[in-house]
């Protein structure tokens, strides 16, 4: 499934380069118009990140995100600054299809496991945004990618075994916003090591060739952001390839 992405800062669409808030591109299109365009091109689901929430640890654009979901007709998954169960319930009650939990899935896995038991597991996506160390080992970062993690991706995923978790979103931060191709090997390794998990890929897509390489893995979803804003191809092109 192709999942176009919107990243929001102050209610506007932006894209970051390798997760750096100081290297951001702002786009003039209204996010609701963007969502409607993606829907018209054949998208069924959209990924929306509240970057203000991710940076400051407090979701601040929930009303706008729920409005985007309502007016676009898309199934929306969203994250950024999710810190308590009431936020999750408000989003789900407000028409959001799935809530994405990032930093807390690394820093407080026990809390996220509790949420998985309180909410239908299919409604929560654990997002692990990784940097690779000098040996190529992926380590998830936290707080809008500003803080380095101390446990590897594999340690964290092992910790979620038996928790009910069924969907993970993996982003290679070093490739995000670069348009140079995705870390296919990493996603394939996650699928091989954890065959019961639904894997959503994110980061690096810059051409239809890159989309085809990811489709060959048959992941649960492929998130595409900057390439769509830079008119490298359309959602319809990605769906059809």
pLDDT reading at 58 higher than 80: no
> What pLDDT, in 10s, does the model give residues 117-138?
999 999 999 999 999 888 989 9
Of 86, 153, 160, 78, nearest to 123 (Cα)? 78
In which band, very low, low, confident or very high, does the pLDDT at 23 lie, cut at 50, 70 and 90?
Answer: low
Mean pLDDT of 62-73: 95
Catalytic residue positions, numbered = 7, 129
In which band, very low, low, confident or very high, does the pLDDT at 238 lie, cut at 50, 70 and 90?
Answer: very high
What pLDDT is attached to residue 148?
65
**For a pLDDT cut of 90, what percent of the chain falls above it?**
70
Of 56, 94, 62, 95, nearest to 79 (Cα)? 62
pLDDT reading at 144 higher than 60: no
Q: Which position has the token pair 């309502």?
A: 70
Mean pLDDT of 152-159: 96
First to last CA, the chain: 12
In which band, very low, low, confident or very high, does the pLDDT at 29 lie, cut at 50, 70 and 90?
Answer: confident
pLDDT reading at 145 higher than 60: no
In which band, very low, low, confident or very high, does the pLDDT at 174 lie, cut at 50, 70 and 90?
Answer: confident
What pLDDT is attached to residue 88?
95
27 or 226, which is more confident? 226
pLDDT reading at 81 higher than 80: yes
| Torsion sign across C-alpha atoms 188, 193, 198, 199 | negative
pLDDT reading at 14 higher than 80: no
pLDDT reading at 21 higher than 80: no
In which band, very low, low, confident or very high, does the pLDDT at 178 lie, cut at 50, 70 and 90?
Answer: confident
pTM above 0.95, yes or no: no
What pLDDT is attached to residue 210?
98
Residue 189 tokens, joined: 């390794």
Alpha-carbon span 24 to 131, nearest angstrom: 19
In which band, very low, low, confident or very high, does the pLDDT at 76 lie, cut at 50, 70 and 90?
Answer: very high
Q: Is 20 left (phi over 0), alpha (psi -120 to 50) or beta?
A: beta
In which band, very low, low, confident or very high, does the pLDDT at 22 lie, cut at 50, 70 and 90?
Answer: low
């Amino acid at each position: 499934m192709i999942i176009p992405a919107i990243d929001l800062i102050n209610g506007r669409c932006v894209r970051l380069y390798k997760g750096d808030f100081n290297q951001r591109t702002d786009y003039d299109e209204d996010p609701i118009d963007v969502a409607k365009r993606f829907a018209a091109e054949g998208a069924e689901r959209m990924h929306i990140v509240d970057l203000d929430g991710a940076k400051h640890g407090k979701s601040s654009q929930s009303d706008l995100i729920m409005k985007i979901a309502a007016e676009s007709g898309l199934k929306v998954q969203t994250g950024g600054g999710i810190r308590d169960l009431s936020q999750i319930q408000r989003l789900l009650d407000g028409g959001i299809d799935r809530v994405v939990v990032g930093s807390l899935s690394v820093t407080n896995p026990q809390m996220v496991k509790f949420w998985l038991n309180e909410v239908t597991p299919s409604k929560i996506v654990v997002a692990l945004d990784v940097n690779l160390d000098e040996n190529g080992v992926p380590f998830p970062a936290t707080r809008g990618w500003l803080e380095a993690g101390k446990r590897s991706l594999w340690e964290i995923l092992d910790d979620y075994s038996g928790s009910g978790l069924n969907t993970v979103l993996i982003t290679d931060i070093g490739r995000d916003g670069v348009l140079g191709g995705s870390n296919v090997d990493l996603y394939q390794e996650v699928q091989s090591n954890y065959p019961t998990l639904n894997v959503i890929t994110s980061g690096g897509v810059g051409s239809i060739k890159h989309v085809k390489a990811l489709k060959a893995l048959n992941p649960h979803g492929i998130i595409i952001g900057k390439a769509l804003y830079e008119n490298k191809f359309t959602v319809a092109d990605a769906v059809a390839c």
